[in-house]
Structure 1
Amino acid sequence: ALPIIQLFHKPNMMKVQVISRENIQPSSPTPKHLKKFNLCLLDQLIPAPYAPIVLFYPNLNDVKLREKSSLLKKSLAQTLSSFYPLAGRFRDELSIDCNDQGVNYVTTNVNCHLIDYLNKPNLESISQFLPCQPPFKVLGVGDYVTNIQINVFECGGIAIGLCIAHKVLDGAGLSTFLKNWSGLVTCPNLMANYFFPSDDLWLRDTSMIMWSSMFKKGNFVTKRFVFNDSAIDNLKRMSTSAHIKYPTKVEVVSSFIWKCLIASNKKSNSLLTHIVNLRKRATPALPENILGNLIWLSSAKNNNAKRYVELADLVNQVRKSISRIDDGYVKRLRGDEGCSLMRKSLKEIGDFCSKGANHYGFSSWCKFGFYDIDFGFGKPIWVSSISSKCSFFMNLIILMESNRCDNGIEAWVTLDEEEMNMLVDNQELLVFASVDPSPLPFYLSR
């Protein structure tokens, strides 16, 4: 019997019933000389099995469900011919067996209307739209690289949930895959291993020491803090200084959340890290469509014993930390001193966190174009991450574009419950951000 997943969503209990499970294979076979795909060195950096994402599509064009299903499957099969590693299985920790066995493809029915669900979504229920349920297991030999779940609401709306192995692609790579699947761009570049070759697991082992200093026990919860256009404009004005005349929205939102966390925490030392996309940092720029984790970590420290810190000072710190990862830095990462540079960088971060500093890890998904993904039945009404409610995690903030306004940001903040309660009570934060509002555009929200 196929399972029924129950989601406790007020005011009604929502049920998600699995209708089918199948493997979607590439429309054309992978050539024999491409059957083994070697992962790149930087694929070892991120410990998370997946970076899950869910895209919600309303039934605005009254396209029949059968047409949507056929369109999604056919275009996916065609896409997998170019993205053939995604249709394979893990051979070991360094490579993928591109055997064309296909993507794990699940279809479900949801017994409510999409708009009703999105009017006030329960963040903990979003994971039920995914084909893999948290806590995610460590991926091993023979596991799927790609898992997709198509959730069909009573109204004909659809939620597409994806769990693709993080060690195969980062946010930019996920964007490239989704754009190709929806017909927006051409084939991927599968040469990440050329830029950062790997034949052993030294970076995995080194990075795990650093990550172990960041993960901790606690009662972790996730909340969304939504900053609209005017709030971001005001934060930019507050952040402008002689050092930085034109701060970006990611810089000001990251720094403002950091400022509020510093104010609500008893510890004086803290560290902010940001995932930095190396593609545009190199000169000439690396191809934007490279599949792999072309990323590194920037780090900004706050050693100020005072709990009040000027926003402009933190923005300057964040800008400086990211700016250090420039063309020269990328060349050094790829050169003879790359190994020692990576070890030194990760050790500095790990040592600072091990001494009791609070770490806040930021990752920006802005400008990846997720809201432009149109499979032929319109663009998504909401693109979401998931709640990370668990007892062992790290302080994590994912920045995503907001569909409620043109230039807004949704910050998906995961903290220990005690620290989250202090953050939610921060009056300065509440002036600029709304906590867990409906993600629906204003003309649809009730």
Structure 2
Amino acid sequence: MDGHLPLLLFYSGACENATKTSDHLKKSLAKTLTHYYPFAGRVKDNLCVDCDDSGASFIEANVSCNMSDILDQLESDQLEKLLPFKDNKLKLYTGGIMVVVQANYFSCGGVAIGILQAFYGCASIFPPQDLPLQRLWRKSFANNVSLGDSVSKRFIFDDPTIATLRETIVNGPCLNRSTRSEAVTALIWGAAIATEREREDVKATNVALIPVDLRHKMNMASLEECIGNVAQAAIAKWPTEKVIDYNSIAAKLHEAIMMMDEKYARKLNEGGGFLNDLRELNEQISDSNVFFVTSLFRSPLYEADFGWGKPKWASSVMNFNNFIFCSDT
């Protein structure tokens, strides 16, 4: 799956002079690209990036409202307008640009930096044999990832609420400790499963796919010189007709993530390991209601200080159906 990963960083009171702020951001971006030079190039085809130092694209926009007018809205559809492109379509944008940045200047002096960064699946950059299994997996994945007619909602949980939620969820026999992400995801996924029961075309099984970073678990020296992620999806399942038990749901999520350990990473790296994993993934999500879950909890995004303090809020903007995205506020 190829496309651009959207990211938004909000800074309050950061801009006294838009021109100076943009110049500062451009210089910072230029310095960053010297360390990650492929992102300054252009995609030629599915096989290579031309590292021609063409640079990233930088756009400026004036927003005729205060930043709080955006942040106080629980409807997140307006956030897309702060990105360089409206839709995060699963295709390359014109010209093969790897990174596009948009600086949005609010009337109050706040700044929102919208970033689109290209990402590619290894199968498209290093295409293996076009096996029937891979075609089947692509088809199954495409059927579960849809863009367009979806509604995005933002739910804000303060620290006391999360503490209460975690205490409530772990008060059961299946799990005696949960992370913030597991607790919040269990609540939202459980509610979504309950909603699925009302559909006419209800499916028997619900599957949660949770990307897990495997880079530090693979113990491969070559990865130290590579740009990008090494990740695979943990799989949690819950029957649609089963009584919603948030303790058990959180336990399912926890167990799925814990299975993605060093032993799993070594097996994935063995001959045929990746294809076997794709086969299992395809079987798990076939004819199931799939939810995608990801989290930026404890992400270093809140360390992104350009000289006017850390972000007031950092988030992504995903317009996939059945997508749960967790981040700090």
Alignment partner, residue 244 of structure 1: 175
Distance in 2 between residues matched to 1:294 and 1:221, nearest whole Å: 30
d(CA) in 2 for partners of 1:144 and 1:217?
Answer: 22
Q: Residue 218 and residue 58 in structure 1: after superposition, are their counterparts in 2 closer, same or farther (change >3 A)?
A: closer
Which amino acid counterpart does residue 200 of structure 1 have in structure 2?
P
Q: Is the 1:235–1:252 contact (alpha carbons within 8 Å) kept by the matching residues of 2?
A: yes
1:57 aligns with 2:33: no
2:323 alignment counterpart: 396
How many Å apart are 1:53 and its aligned residue? 1.3
User: How much is the aligned-residue C-alpha RMSD, in angstroms?
Assistant: 2.9
Say whether the 8 Å CA contact 2:208–2:292 is kept in structure 1: yes
CA contact (8 A) 1:106 1:149 kept: yes
More helix by share: 2
Gap change, CA 1:375 and 1:288, over 3 Å in 2: farther
Q: Secondary structure at 2:3's aligned position in 1? A: coil
Task: Tell me by how many angstroms 1:151 deviates.
Answer: 1.2
User: Identity of counterpart residues, as a percentage?
Assistant: 29
Offset, 1:359: 1.4
Which residue number corresponds to residue 230 of structure 2?
294
Alignment partner of 2:244 out of 287, 291, 309: 309
1:276 is aligned, of 203, 212, 228, to: 212
Aligned pairs (5 A) from 1:216-365: 219-240=149-170, 241-266=172-197, 267=202, 268-283=204-219, 291-303=227-239, 305-306=241-242, 308-351=243-286, 354=287, 357-365=288-296
Alignment check: 8 A CA contact 2:70 2:78 kept = no
- Alpha-carbon distance, 1:91 to partner: 2.0
> Is 1:99 aligned to residue 16 of structure 2?
no
> CA separation of 1:385/1:137 partners in 2, compared to 1, >3 Å: closer, same or farther?
same
2-structure distance, mates of 1:278, 1:217: 27
The answer on whether the counterparts of 1:90 and 1:141 sit within 8 Å (CA) in structure 2 is no
Tell me the CA shift for residue 252 of structure 1: 1.2
Q: In 2, Cα distance between the equivalents of 1:217 and 1:160?
A: 23
Report deviation, 1:123. 2.3
Structure 2 Cα separation of the partners of residues 201 and 94 of structure 1: 14
Amino acid at match of 1:275: P
Name the CA distance, whole Å, in 2 between partners of 1:335 and 1:372: 37
Partner of 1:154: 107
Per the alignment, residue 10 of structure 1 pairs with none
TM-score normalised per structure 2: 0.86
Q: Give per-residue Cα distances to partners, 1:50-85, cap 9 Å, x unaligned.
A: 22111111115x654343222211121111111101
Residues 340 and 70 (structure 1), Cα distance of their counterparts in 2 relative to 1, 3 Å cut? closer
Distance 2:290 2:237 in 1: 9
In structure 1, what is the equivalent of residue 81 of structure 2? Answer: 128
Name the residue aligned to 1:375.
306
Is residue 128 of structure 2 the alignment partner of residue 200 of structure 1?
yes
Deviations 1:264-320 (A, max 9, x none): 2214421111111112444589968952131101111112633x3211111111111
Note if 1:83 corresponds to 2:39.
no
Letter in 2 for 1:312: N
Q: Among residues 141, 151, 154, which one is paired with 1:211 in the alignment?
A: 141
* 8 A Cα contact 1:373 1:380, kept in partner: yes
TM-score by length of 1: 0.65
